């Protein structure tokens, strides 16, 4: 069976899927992930029928980071049989100013992507490590990079600029936006389940260990909360979100911190982890009775509400808010608390629908439709990989 393997390395998870190349199109064979990396890692995978192939808690000391998770996945995949691997599609977080569409990977592309590692140090090195590993094992196997930044590349210029000298913008210092593969899928899915909604003004809230929001008009990205790097916007598991750049100057000039130390602080020790002192995982915070955990949740909800207001203003109104990703799909309490902050927009939550994680969780009469749409970045990557390589596959 000819298949495409998709690898999707996030900040605390490694997702993968295997898709068969059938005459009617892509057909999912295996779906799995290693999540909770560095906290409470768990390896799960199911076949096309949803039957569990593996569901194991892993040793946290053995799976401290994404490279370790990648090695664990490699060992498991080697035990599979019956598949003829034709290509590998990768999520690559940052395409910089160079890549606005999927690209087949060669050494020159790999070197170009390496130059963007400093702009996404939690993700890009792991993305590229997976690519290099496949190149070592199967140097002739086609690999495709699919970019989180690409979906946002048609923003109006006013949405992408910083108020800095224009020469820096021309060099690539601009607001890129991220989680584009997720937003691409949700936009497509809305066209199927709510075609009237996708034509309007929609905010998609991709809430997970990495979190951002995107303003969509007629299914196209017009603004987002993330910027030059994946540090900006909403607070995340270990990243602070919006931060006065003067704080960075203070840490360097007054606290004597090196740029490496500041980078580690902002990427690894801030966000929910830094605020709570308890955990970077929203599940842990919701289960905790520590007041610091409660405060971190309050802060997260506050910043989400503020960002929704700003993105709604960017579109001159709001027709729907869509929750997706780990927190957005699985934390009814967070959805309820964010939705309650949108009463001024006329949003009314249906508590029972929300508790059931229904597709539509707003009540009849709500001026803003509230929805839950599970994301599927891996399907988008597989689609883009197939489209780029066809008919060579």
CA–CA gap between residue 319 and residue 329 (Å, rounded): 20
CA–CA gap between residue 290 and residue 80 (Å, rounded): 44
Which residues have a catalytic role annotated? 148
Q: What angle do CA 18, 21, 26 make, to 5 degrees?
A: 70
**Tokens representing 363?**
């009540």
Cβ(326)–Cβ(8) under 8 Å? no
**Tokens representing 41?**
């890692």
Cβ(286)–Cβ(333) under 8 Å? yes
Torsion of CA 296, 185, 37, 88, to 10 degrees: -160
E strand map for the chain:
2-9, 14-22, 25-35, 42-47, 52-57, 84-92, 103-104, 143-147, 201-207, 211-217, 220-224, 320-324, 369-372
């Amino acid at each position: 069976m000819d298949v495409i393997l998709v690898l999707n390395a996030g900040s605390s998870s490694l997702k993968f899927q295997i898709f068969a190349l059938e005459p009617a199109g892509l057909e999912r064979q295996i779906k799995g992930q290693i999540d909770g990396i560095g906290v409470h890692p768990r390896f799960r995978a199911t076949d096309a029928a949803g039957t569990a192939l593996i569901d194991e808690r892993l040793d946290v000391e053995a799976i401290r980071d994404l490279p370790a998770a990648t090695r664990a996945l490699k060992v498991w995949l080697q035990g599979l049989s019956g598949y003829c691997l034709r290509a590998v599609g990768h999520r690559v977080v940052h395409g910089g100013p160079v890549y606005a569409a999927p690209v087949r990977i060669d050494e020159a592309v790999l070197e170009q992507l390496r130059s963007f590692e400093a702009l996404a140090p939690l993700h890009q090195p792991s993305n590229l490590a997976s690519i290099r590993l496949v190149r070592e094992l199967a140097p002739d196997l086609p690999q495709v990079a699919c970019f989180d930044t690409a979906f946002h590349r048609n923003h109006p210029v006013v949405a992408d600029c910083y108020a800095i000298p224009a020469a820096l913008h021309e060099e690539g210092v601009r607001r890129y936006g991220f989680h584009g593969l997720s937003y691409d899928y949700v936009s497509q899915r809305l066209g199927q389940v709510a075609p009237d909604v996708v034509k309007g003004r929609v905010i998609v809230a991709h809430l997970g260990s990495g979190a951002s929001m995107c303003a969509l008009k007629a299914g196209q990205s017009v603004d987002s909360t993330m910027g030059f790097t994946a540090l900006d916007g909403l607070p995340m598991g270990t990243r602070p979100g919006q931060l006065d750049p003067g704080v960075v100057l203070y840490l360097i000039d007054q606290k004597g911190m090196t740029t490496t130390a500041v980078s580690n602080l902002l990427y690894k020790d801030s966000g929910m982890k830094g605020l709570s002192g308890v955990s970077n995982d929203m599940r842990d915070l919701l289960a905790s009775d520590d007041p610091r955990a409660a405060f971190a949740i309050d802060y997260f909800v506050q910043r989400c509400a503020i960002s929704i207001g700003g993105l709604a203003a960017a579109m001159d109104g709001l027709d729907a808010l869509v929750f997706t990703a780990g927190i957005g799909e699985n934390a009814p309490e967070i959805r309820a608390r964010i939705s309650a902050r949108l009463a001024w927009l006329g949003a009314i939550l249906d508590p029972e629908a929300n508790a059931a994680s229904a597709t539509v969780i707003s009540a009849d009469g709500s001026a803003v439709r509230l929805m839950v749409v599970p994301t599927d970045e891996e399907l988008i990557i597989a689609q883009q990989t197939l489209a780029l390589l066809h008919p060579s596959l």
